Amino acid sequence: MPTVTLSGVGRHFGALKAVDSVDLAIKHGEFVTLLGPSGCGKTTTLRMVAGLERNDTGSIAIGGRMVSDAASELFVPPDHRKLGMVFQSYAIWPHMTVFDNVAYPLSVRHVAKAEIKAKVTAALKLVEMEAYAERPAPALSGGQQQRVAIARALVFEPEVLLLDEPLSNLDARLRAQMGDEFRALQRRLKITTLYVTHDQEEAMALSDRVVVMDKGKALQVGAPEDVYRRPASRAVAAFFGTPNFIEAKVTACRANGTDHVLTIEGAGTEGDCRAGDAYRPGDAVLVMIRPEDVTLGAAGHLSWAGTVVDGVFRGPRRTLTVESTVGGQARRFTVECPATRAASVGDAVTLSVESDNAWALRS
Amino acid sequence: MRRRKVLGLLAAAPAIAASAQTGDWNKVVEAAKKEGKLLIYTASIGSVFHKKVINAFEAKYGIKVDLLEARASEVRERVRVEQAAGRFLGDLHHNGSTTTGLMQRDGNFQPRGEVPNTRNIEAPYEADAFKIPAEVISYCLMVNKNLVKPADEPKSWKDILDPKWAGKILSDDYRALGGGAVFFVVMQNAFGREFHEKLAAQKPSFSRDLQNSERRTARGEYPIYLPFNLQDLNNLKGLPIKAIVPAEGRPYVRFDISMLKNAPHPNAACLFMNHYLEPEQQLVFANAGYNPVIKGVIEKTIDEIRPLLATKAMGTTDPARQDEMLALAKEIYK
Amino acid sequence: MLVLAFLTVYPMAMLLYGSLHSTPPGMAGEYNFDGYASLATAENLQALINTAALSLVKTVLSLALAILLAWIVARTDTPGRGVLEILITLPFFIPPILTATAWAMLGNAQVGTINLAWRWLTGTDGTLVDVYSYGGIVWHMMQYSTPFIFLFVVDAFRAMDPSLEESSRMSGATRWQTFWRITFGLMLPVTTSAFILSFIRGMESFESAVFFGTPVGIKVLTTQIFDMITQRAQPDYQGATAMGFATMALMFLLLVLQSRLLRGRSFTTVTGKAYAPSVTRLGGLRWVTFSICVLFFALAVALPVGQLILSSFFQFFGFYQLDMLTFEHYRSVWENREFWTAFGNTLLLGFLGATATMILGGIVAYITTRTAWHGRRLIDILAWLPWMMPGMVLGIGFLWGFATLPHEIPIYGTLWALLLAYVALGTPVAVRVTSGAYAQIARDIEECSRVHGANWWQTMGRILVALAWPAFAVGWVLIFFGIMRELSASILLYVPDTTVLSVVMLKLWNSGKPETVSVIGLVMLAMVLLFRWVQLRFIKRRISTL
């Protein structure tokens, strides 16, 4: 039984559909991330789950209880939804101590003093902040505030934990560390989590499933690897990194398990690639190739000859731009390769890609 | 000498009158005591003499008196609105004769009933079916003794027109209701427009804050202040000032007490009116610098006040011509 | 909403009726526009120009001074700023009539102390200052508006996230540019509110104009209204109320202007992120800022208050001879039974009134600033109304309104009448103060509380009010002392049992006892000092935890 169910949830501002009929079911203990560029509707969706905004269409259920239904005008206010939430700014109340901040969800529900003390101490221990209990809240670093915000969100043992870009205010190292810690904590507590971020790597690393959103719509829902390797559309594919897209024509198609193997030609090459759907010969497709899947030199299933026109050293790896001209048409490829195997600007190279790593989309 | 005698005789009159109709009056007194309470609306704000007279009344009859004090127009508007809304809270109304006259016209009062002491009232003051005269405010000149040598003191109202006082006169505003307007009317009646045109040329400074104006004169900002409320002399004891009643006399303004429509305590109200006209109570006012309204009181007044009160009453304001006079004052004093 | 409508719309409706009807409520008459027609005179135009010019000049000067002082006290390391903060605000709490008297003694052209000193110093017989002039009126009004604006803005300065200023300095802006473009810019909701409140207050100011203006023929709108009501044989209520509405219409334009200025901008400076309010280190300059504060204190506080203290021990205000030394005035206040009744009533009304007003104002401000409810603009306007109507006209509105209620509703003639009038009169300040504070609090601070199980009231009390509490405290004090001073409505609504301090003071003043009034003024000042001390101690405790 899913812990959070969104069906047909929408939020409209006049003609603008900030969120347009989103369906989603989150299982108990699952970590689901809403991912998308800013303005895609992910935060609005989260706020509707929280009850901070009303959905204009559809319904939301939490823990099997309907909390918001546009049709019947049912709306449970946020304080009755039994949620925990971490805000982007942490929203640590500056006039309270760390302890009081964390104790708040309990004290507003009139929990006994002794129990509050025990639970708050436990929650602070969970985020390793027990030593800071009596500190005034504003006298904390960003990372510490984030831990306090998480402790506060967890202390009431909420049905669902909501997080709105909680790591975006931290520096890169702290972000990775906090992300890992949080993921470990979430696994340990098995708490259902809905997480919002615009950072794809964060989403990949933390989530059980990712919802890719754009312009108010949920474009694709799936495990991070699925979404990354088997995107449903160009928009989803383009959201992760800078993939190369090659236009081609299908010459043959055969099923292979749940997938299909296509034989394609055009764009100066021919060979096999994979696809989620069946295509007919003659169909135009767009083949997505991730820069890190392109190898230099050896001939593979799909290959191009070209010249290196730019190279950027990135420490562990190197990003090359390779230009390949076939039939008078110039094509640029982004290639990620190990930093040690030097190919300098001006070198002639051969690019090749395994069939398994080429993914066809409808063009 | 002969006049004295007559006054003395008349002073004995109340005793005779009271005994003549003791029966009726005793009923009023008894009913008043039963009512036990009295609410007076007054425009005489913060008057300690008023308080004294009230305290004497409370002590004598055991009737509790509440005072609602506000400025003349505020008292009037409260009475009007309350009566229009069917709230009859107050019993007596104590205000200047102009406002009282207007309220009488508007029907805010009811007949006061028999008040024995009214027979002692001295002309030109008189009672009617609704109201009794209460006390009289007299206006004169005030000079700063440090700035005005005895020889220079104005003897006549016309002396203030002497060019040496140009720019040195502080005055209550003639263009607004109050002492200034009374002064304006009385001078206009006595000396005509010419007087005011000359006074305007003296460029008097106007202020409506009477008490402060008196202090300013005492401190030497101005040598002359007018028209000076004689009863304020009490507050200024010890300051270098002197009150002068010019030869022509003093303008005055009368305060009246009237019975409000549907007064909840009419007998107590009636009794209070009578009490107000008792010689001892009128003497309280006279000693304070008000002119009494009954006969035989001035003579008993303390020495420092008596000569000032025993002067000619020069005239008072005329409600019928008030707006006309205010307009004229505005025209002359730009 | 209903409460607000009863408190503001109802008396206003009575006044509107009064302005359109040839006679006041309860009398036969006809509807006409005579009241409005009678306003169109050259004299009134001159009065309007005088009023607007005086108010504008004094508001601009006070605003500049108040902001400077607030910045000095809240954001710099000027020595003694804790004490200065209390002292600077004192003039606001002195009854205006007393400071006016004090200044009249100091600055009259003939024998004013300042002019005497000037003549003695220079050996000439020239006049340095004359308070009976436009300048005198402005100066006297400034002694009230400067502390008022200061109180209004100082906590906004204190609560600001310094990183907003720091980022400006890092972008190459000078300290002055930062102050002007960032600090001042972010303070716009508070400062424009303070400006408008103060400007409107200036348009309605009566004491300064009547005291210093009337003697030299300077007319303003309120003295014109006063004249229409009290200085004519037949009070012209129609004209007076019509003028009240005309004034109100003009002030309304200002509000529209303000909302245009502020539309669509964010002024959130208190966020859930970490920051520590810091002060600018001024170095040697801090002695300059210190002197500015001290100078203001000396001029606006020490001189008049010193005069008050001195005169309270002498038989007569302004006559300082040894043989006139006396405790008589203190004794007479101590023994004045009416004073104690009034004092008790006023304290009760002050506590209840200020508290009720802050609650109402806090809710109204919440609705207008933090919800998307359609009626919120309307409420906002409703809450402004009592401030825009000159006090002496509004007092009549309350009298008419409360007296004509059915007798079953026991308001007229009870403390309720005064309490309700005070709440209505105080609501505009309460709404401005709290909405200014709310505007600075980030929304998620509040949402976070709701999500974590607090209902609306809990969130309001434990988060919003708790965070905005310095503003609430300031608003409370402003309203409390506003109630202690209010006369126009009080004198029309009190009955002997419910007499209040302002009425007692008027009585004493009118009976020629300014020295006794000084004593009461000093009692009030002592209360202010106590209140402010307690309040600032609380604020300090909070700041030290920040």
Domains of chain A, first to last: 2-238 (3.40.50.300), 242-362 (2.40.50.140)
Distance CA A130, CA A137 (A): 13
CA-angle at C241, arms to C235 and C242, nearest 5°: 115
Confidence of residue C319 (pLDDT cuts 50, 70, 90): confident
Q: Which residue of C has its CA nearest to A82?
A: C453
Distance CA C129, CA C108 (A): 7
Task: State yes or no: pLDDT of C481 exceeds 80.
Answer: yes
- Digit-coded pLDDT (tens) for B167-178: 899 999 888 888
Measured in angstroms, the CA of C211 and the nearest CA of chain B are apart by 8
What pLDDT is stored for residue A182 in this prediction? 87
Q: Residue B103 sits in which domain range?
A: 2-135+254-303
What b/e sequence results for A183-212 when a residue is b if at least 16 CB atoms lie within 10 Å of its CB, and e otherwise?
Answer: beebeeeebbbbbbbbbbebbbebbbbbbb
Regarding whether B280 and B156 lie in a shared domain, the answer is: no
Listing from the earlier edge strand, what are the strands of the sheet with A192-197? A83-86, A160-164, A192-197, A31-35, A209-214, A217-222
Chains A and C touch (3+ CB pairs under 8 A): yes
Regarding whether B157 and B214 lie in a shared domain, the answer is: yes
Distance CA A362, CA B217 (A): 101
Residue by residue, DSSP assigns B37-63 as EEEEEESSTT-HHHHHHHHHHHHHH--
What pLDDT is stored for residue C271 in this prediction? 54
Residue B227 is part of a domain; what is its CATH number?
A: 3.40.190.10
Using a 10 angstrom Cβ sphere, with 0-12 exposed, 13-18 middle and 19 or more buried, the burial of residue C243 is: buried
Regarding whether B114 and B7 lie in a shared domain, the answer is: yes
CA-angle at A270, arms to A268 and A272, nearest 5°: 145
| Spatial contact of C252 and C428, defined as CB atoms under 8 Å apart | no
When mean pLDDT is compared across B5-14, B99-108, C209-218, the lowest value belongs to: B5-14
Distance CA B280, CA C256 (A): 64
- As a whole number, mean pLDDT of residues B36-59 equals 90
Could you tell me the end-to-end alpha-carbon distance of chain C, in angstroms, rounded to an integer?
Answer: 36
Confidence of residue B20 (pLDDT cuts 50, 70, 90): very low
What pLDDT is stored for residue B110 in this prediction? 93
Can you read off the two tokens belonging to residue A14?
């006049």
| Spatial contact of C73 and C543, defined as CB atoms under 8 Å apart | no
| Spatial contact of C391 and C488, defined as CB atoms under 8 Å apart | yes
Distance CA B276, CA B278 (A): 6
Task: State yes or no: pLDDT of C185 exceeds 80.
Answer: no
Confidence of residue C14 (pLDDT cuts 50, 70, 90): confident
Distance CA C545, CA C108 (A): 50
* C393 touching A (Cβ < 8 Å): no
* Kind of pairing between the strands at B169-171 and B131-144: unpaired
Regarding whether B260 and B242 lie in a shared domain, the answer is: no
Regarding whether B129 and B267 lie in a shared domain, the answer is: yes
Chains B and A touch (3+ CB pairs under 8 A): no
Give the start-end residues of each E strand in chain B.
37-42, 64-69, 92-96, 131-144, 169-171, 205-206, 224-229, 241-244, 250-259, 313-315
Measured in angstroms, the CA of B69 and the nearest CA of chain C are apart by 8
For chain B, what is the mean pLDDT? 87
Query: Which pairs from A272-277 meet CB under 8 Å and 24+ separation?
Result: A272/A301, A272/A302, A272/A355, A272/A358, A273/A301, A273/A302, A273/A355, A273/A358, A273/A359, A273/A360, A274/A355, A274/A356, A274/A358, A274/A359, A274/A360, A275/A359, A275/A360, A275/A361, A276/A230, A276/A232, A277/A362
What pLDDT is stored for residue C1 in this prediction? 64
Distance CA A214, CA A40 (A): 5
* C250 touching A (Cβ < 8 Å): no
Distance CA C374, CA B37 (A): 54
Single-letter code of the amino acid located at C97: I
Can you read off the two tokens belonging to residue C88?
């600077």
The residue written with tokens 């300690």 in the block is B48
Measured in angstroms, the CA of C450 and the nearest CA of chain A are apart by 5
Could you tell me the end-to-end alpha-carbon distance of chain A, in angstroms, rounded to an integer?
Answer: 37
Distance CA A175, CA A195 (A): 15
Distance CA B39, CA B272 (A): 11
| Spatial contact of B95 and B256, defined as CB atoms under 8 Å apart | yes
- Digit-coded pLDDT (tens) for B142-174: 999 999 999 899 999 999 999 999 989 999 988
Write out chain C residues lying below 8 Å of A105, CB-based: 452-454
When mean pLDDT is compared across A261-265, B63-67, C110-114, the lowest value belongs to: C110-114
- As a whole number, mean pLDDT of residues B263-285 equals 93
Category of B295 on φ-ψ map: left (φ > 0), alpha (ψ -120 to 50) or beta = beta
Give me the numbers of helices (H) and strands (E) for chain B, helices first please: 13, 10
Single-letter code of the amino acid located at C67: I
* C372 touching A (Cβ < 8 Å): no
Q: Angle B179-191/B322-332 helices, nearest 10 degrees? A: 80
Query: Which pairs from A71-80 meet CB under 8 Å and 24+ separation?
Result: A75/A51, A76/A51, A77/A51, A77/C450, A77/C455, A77/C456, A78/A50, A78/A51, A78/A52, A78/C447, A78/C450, A78/C451, A79/A108, A79/C450, A79/C451, A79/C452, A79/C453, A79/C454, A79/C455, A79/C458, A80/A51
Inter-chain Cβ pairs, chain B and chain C, closer than 8 A: 144
Higher pLDDT, C76 or C65: C65
Helices (H), A14-93: 42-50
Chains that touch A (3 or more CB pairs under 8 A): C
Distance CA B19, CA B230 (A): 36
- Cis geometry, peptide bond prior to residue B124 (ω within 30 degrees of 0): yes
- As a whole number, mean pLDDT of residues C327-347 equals 86
What is this model's ipTM? 0.77
CA-angle at C28, arms to C26 and C31, nearest 5°: 100
Confidence of residue B49 (pLDDT cuts 50, 70, 90): confident
HSE-CB for A254 with a 13 A CA cutoff? 3
Residues in a beta bridge with B38 = B65
Window 449-468 of C, Cβ < 8 Å to A:
449-456, 458, 462-463, 466-467
Write out chain A residues lying below 8 Å of C543, CB-based: none
DSSP for residue C372: -
| Spatial contact of C149 and C71, defined as CB atoms under 8 Å apart | no
Single-letter code of the amino acid located at B47: S
Return the number of other C-beta atoms located less than 10 Å from residue A134's C-beta.
9
Using a 10 angstrom Cβ sphere, with 0-12 exposed, 13-18 middle and 19 or more buried, the burial of residue C146 is: buried
What pLDDT is stored for residue B14 in this prediction? 41
SS3 breakdown of chain B: % helix, strand, coil, rounded to 5? 50, 20, 30
Higher pLDDT, C364 or B17: C364
Regarding whether B104 and B187 lie in a shared domain, the answer is: no
Which CATH homologous superfamily contains domain C2-27+34-545? MetI-like (1.10.3720.10)
Count up the domains in chain B and report the number. Answer: 2
- As a whole number, mean pLDDT of residues C516-521 equals 85
**Residue A198 CA: distances (Å) to CA of A34, A36, A212, B327, C272:** 8, 5, 10, 79, 21
Regarding whether B160 and B131 lie in a shared domain, the answer is: no
* B42 touching C (Cβ < 8 Å): no
- Digit-coded pLDDT (tens) for C378-427: 887 788 788 888 888 888 888 888 888 887 778 888 888 889 889 988 88
pLDDT tens, N- to C-terminus, chain A (363 residues): 568 999 999 998 888 888 999 999 999 999 999 998 888 889 999 999 988 888 999 999 998 899 999 899 899 888 888 888 888 888 888 778 899 889 988 888 888 999 999 999 999 988 888 898 888 877 788 888 888 988 998 888 888 999 988 888 777 788 888 888 888 888 888 899 999 998 888 899 899 999 999 988 999 999 999 899 889 888 888 888 888 888 888 888 888 888 888 888 876 777 888 888 888 888 888 889 998 888 887 666 788 888 898 888 888 888 889 988 876 778 888 988 887 766 788 888 888 888 888 898 887
Distance CA A249, CA B163 (A): 116
Residues in a beta bridge with A318 = A313, A337
The residue written with tokens 């005072």 in the block is B67
- pTM of the predicted model as reported, rounded to 2 decimal places: 0.78
For chain C, what is the mean pLDDT? 80
Closest CA to B79 of B49, B37, B110: B110
* Kind of pairing between the strands at A244-256 and A259-266: antiparallel
Can you read off the two tokens belonging to residue A355?
């069939």
DSSP H/E element including B85: none
Regarding whether B124 and B259 lie in a shared domain, the answer is: yes
Window 107-166 of B, Cβ < 8 Å to C:
none
What pLDDT is stored for residue C274 in this prediction? 45
What pLDDT is stored for residue B223 in this prediction? 93
Can you read off the two tokens belonging to residue A71?
């049709």
Beta carbons within 8 Å of A171's beta carbon, 6+ residues apart: none
**Residue B138 CA: distances (Å) to CA of B7, B126, B231:** 22, 17, 8
Cβ-defined contact of C546 to A94 (cutoff 8 Å): yes
Write out chain B residues lying below 8 Å of C111, CB-based: 219-221
HSE-CB for C401 with a 13 A CA cutoff? 24
* Kind of pairing between the strands at A358-362 and B241-244: unpaired
Single-letter code of the amino acid located at A218: A
What pLDDT is stored for residue C268 in this prediction? 61
What pLDDT is stored for residue A341 in this prediction? 67
Percent of chain B with pLDDT over 90: 49
* Kind of pairing between the strands at A269-275 and A259-266: antiparallel
Higher pLDDT, A174 or C23: A174
Cβ-defined contact of A89 to C462 (cutoff 8 Å): no
